[in-house]
Amino acid sequence: MTEQELQQLVEDISLKSFGMKFRHKARFNPRLRTTGGRYLLHSHDIELNPKHLELFGLDELIGIIKHELCHYHLHLQKKGYRHRDADFKLLLKEVDAPRYCAKIPHAQNSVKTRHLYVCTGCGTRFERKREVDTSRYVCGKCNGRLKKIKG
């Protein structure tokens, strides 16, 4: 699917499902890794992950487009456009848009434990991605000293 075909698809879905025009840009962004798409608040553009089209097909892409258009139209109407807002949840149901998209296998950024600390008082283990200054920080449970085990 080309960028022009994507733009036309988004405009068609906006008119059919929402009864309003989409007046901004829709484009593929191959740098998106863990999300199906995103609505940009400042430019009002919509970016979509091309991998969702490749892996899951057109129906999944249409669902993602509807989801992002919910953000788009609610934001422009100055209504609650965030995931937690009642306006957003209601509009999702009205247009039959999914709340979440399918997960791309192996796309999640896994958090790897690089540093392991143990409390000398209660024995609680703390796994951290970043290094902790043991002279400054103590155990949150018993205020015991932390001892670095790994990293």
Q: Beta strand 26-28 with 46-48: parallel, antiparallel or unpaired?
A: parallel
**Catalytic one of 60, 68, 127, 131:** 68
Q: Which residues pair with 27 in a beta bridge?
A: 47
Residue 60 is among the residues annotated as catalytic for this protein: no
> Are the C-beta atoms of residues 72 and 91 closer than 8 Å to each other?
no
> CA angle, 68 as apex, 65 and 72 as ends, to 5°?
125
Contacts with 114 (C-beta within 8 Å, 6 or more apart), sequence order: 128, 129, 130, 131, 150, 151
Rounded Cα distance, 101 and 12, in Å: 21
Catalytic residue set = 68
